[in-house]
Amino acid sequence: MKKAVVLLSGGLDSATTLAIARDQGYICYALSVDYGQRHKSELDAASQIASTLGATEHRSVSIALDVIGGSALTDENIAVPEQPDQGIPVTYVPARNTVFLSIALGWAEVLGVTDIFVGVNAVDYSGYPDCRPEFVAAFEALANLATKAGVEGERFRIHAPLIQMTKGQIVTEGMRLGVDYSLTVSCYQADEQGRACGLCDACRLRAQGFKEMGAPDPTRYQETG
Amino acid sequence: MKKAVVLLSGGLDSATTLAIARDQGYICYALSVDYGQRHKSELDAASQIASTLGATEHRSVSIALDVIGGSALTDENIAVPEQPDQGIPVTYVPARNTVFLSIALGWAEVLGVTDIFVGVNAVDYSGYPDCRPEFVAAFEALANLATKAGVEGERFRIHAPLIQMTKGQIVTEGMRLGVDYSLTVSCYQADEQGRACGLCDACRLRAQGFKEMGAPDPTRYQETG
């Protein structure tokens, strides 16, 4: 049986990625990262999603990225924008996906696994540099040089099945595979119950996905005054 | 003034690397990583070294790599070998330098810095895959694709000034630059006071360095029975 490590944030994209990996026949080891993000409720969501989508194991690694700050997601003095931004927005967390994939690579080595799934997407996304195909390819090249398995001739594959899909296509695929999107939390400033603000980039892209496919949006929103 | 992020473990190699970066005129931001390692005393050492070698700032990021385990340094059920090993030893921490460099990359982006120093060495070393020149080159390529600065046309440089030096040459260079090696902790199973076992790979390589250059070894060793 083939095995994979799947990065699982608890959001829409990574839940869909886990469903795709399972559908491709992988035994899945889901990995979440608690990096000091504002939206901690996504970690509770990740745990529920891992269980409902049949991950064999789910681990969560803590890393104190708030020590270096530099993002609206890790520094409480930088506000999450509630209007679309030009260029790379302040919600970009420096080197986040590099850090996440590195941890996934470490766990993959421990498990003797060479397949890693990540839910990055370069179509309906926020312009983050570490969501592009060239980034994923460069990480794959690095993985083969960085590891004992790579030195011994095994080849790592970084799977990014969503990378060329629109949000609508992602939601369609996820629903086909039985993802319960009411469990997922996308909002950058979700409250403790996982309810979304409806205003940030992540909320906007998510709502667009459901609208695009004409499906009801199961997101739970915060009440506004 | 040029600035650099310098990975500083608290051992002999990274202390020498910091001294070299300072000697090359960099304003240095020293970064340590608390990854659940056995030899926590190296983190206290890092703090003292950063201060005596004139780092402008020193930060320590915690990451729970013990959650994934798989190394004698992060899993207390795997013993540190006290004899030289064949192949890649059990003290290898899966993807450790990839994780460390990723965090350094994140801090570099926050600081607006594109130079990163790391004390990896491919001569008198333990055979870790992530200490080789091809690994460093692959990480540099990744850094330019992973980051906002890279997208905007800046170029990251990963400096590994020790990579082709013997331990003796490293010690010679460090002494020329005023590194106080009595502050550094290399041992994989150093006690709380930073005293070395004298038996592990790291101790053996370190002792060899002082012997090679005919210098007195300032290491403080644990008393043996």
- Global ipTM: 0.92
pLDDT mean over B136-164: 95
| C-alpha Rg value of chain A to the nearest Å | 17
- Alpha-carbon distance A115 to A104, whole Å? 10
Residues of chain A with C-beta less than 8 angstroms from the C-beta of B67: 59-62
Q: Is residue A103 part of a domain?
A: yes
Residue A224 lies in a domain: no
Displacement of CA B153 from its chain's centroid (Å): 29
DSSP E strand stretches across chain A: 3-7, 27-34, 57-62, 115-117, 157-159
- Residue A32 within a domain: yes
Q: B122 CA to chain A: closest CA distance, Å? A: 13
pLDDT tens-digit series, residues B81-107: 888 777 788 888 889 999 999 999 999
Q: What is the pLDDT of residue A145?
A: 95
Does residue B20 form part of some domain?
yes
> Does residue B15 carry a pLDDT above 90?
yes
* Backbone phi, psi, residue A60, to 5°: -130, 125
The alpha-carbon gap from A116 to the nearest alpha carbon of chain B, in Å, equals 14
| DSSP H or E run through B33 | strand B27-34
Which of the two residues, A129 and A115, has the higher pLDDT score? Answer: A115
- Among A127-131, B16-20, B162-166, the range scoring the smallest mean pLDDT is A127-131
**Do strands B3-7 and A57-62 pair parallel, antiparallel, or not at all (unpaired)?**
unpaired
Of the listed ranges A192-201, B15-24, B52-61, the one predicted with least confidence: A192-201
In this prediction, residue B69 carries a pLDDT of: 87
Strands A3-7 and B157-159: unpaired
Contacts of A89 in chain B (CB under 8 A): none
Q: Which one of A31, A62, A145, A156 would you mutate to disrupt binding with B, by most B Cβ within 10 Å of its Cβ?
A: A145
**Residue A112: other Cβ atoms inside 10 A:** 10
Give the distance, in angstroms, between the CA of residue A200 and the centroid of all CA atoms in the same chain: 17
- From CA B158, how far away is CA A110, in angstroms rounded? 27
Chain B residues in contact with A70 by the CB 8 A cut-off are 106, 109-110
pTM of the model: 0.93
pLDDT at position B224: 66
Q: Is A97 in Cβ contact with B146 (below 8 Å)?
A: yes
Using alpha carbons, select from A174, A180, A113 the residue that is nearest to residue B94. A113
Contact A66, A74 (CB under 8 A): yes
pLDDT category, A127, cuts 50, 70, 90? Answer: confident
Burial class (CB in 10 A: 0-12, 13-18, 19+), B192: exposed
Using CB atoms within 10 Å of the CB of residue A191, give its burial: 0 to 12 exposed, 13 to 18 middle, 19+ buried: middle
Q: Which residue of A has its CA nearest to B145?
A: A135
Please tell me the least confidently modeled range out of B9-13, B59-63, B67-71: B67-71
What are A's interface residues with B at a Cβ cutoff of 8 A?
59-65, 67-70, 88, 92-99, 102-103, 105-110, 129-130, 132, 134-135, 138-139, 141-143, 145-148, 150-151
Q: Do A68 and B145 touch (CB under 8 A)?
A: no
Contacts with B105 from chain A: Cβ below 8 Å: 94-95, 98
Greatest C-alpha distance within chain A: 60
Query: Looking at the domain assignment, is residue A218 inside a domain?
Result: no
Residue B218 has a pLDDT of 94
Structural domain includes residue A106? yes
Give, as one character, the DSSP assignment of residue B63: B
In terms of CA atoms, which chain A residue is nearest residue B31? A68
Residue % of chain B over a pLDDT of 70: 99
pLDDT at B10 over 90: yes
Query: What's chain B's average pLDDT?
Result: 92
CA distance B180 to A136: 42
At A224, the pLDDT band (50, 70, 90 cuts) reads low
Pairing of strands A157-159, B3-7: unpaired
> Is residue B220 domain-resident?
no
B129–A150: do the CB atoms touch at under 8 Å? Answer: yes
Closest C-alpha among B125, B99, B133, B187 to residue A109: B99
Q: Percent of chain B, pLDDT > 90?
A: 73
Which of B69, B97, B106 comes nearest A110 by C-beta? B69
Domains held by chain B: number:
1
| A11-51 residue pLDDT tens | 999 999 999 999 999 999 999 999 988 878 889 999 999 99
CATH number at residue A149: 3.40.50.620
Range of the domain at B187: 3-212
Answer whether residue B138 is part of any domain.
yes
Angle subtended at Cα B186 by Cα B182 and Cα B192, rounded to the nearest 5 degrees:
80
Q: Which residues of A touch B107 (CB under 8 A)?
A: 68, 94
Q: Do A142 and B147 touch (CB under 8 A)?
A: no
Q: Are A174 and A181 in contact (CB under 8 A)?
A: yes
Q: Could A148 and B105 be called an inter-chain contact, meaning their C-beta atoms sit closer than 8 Å?
A: no
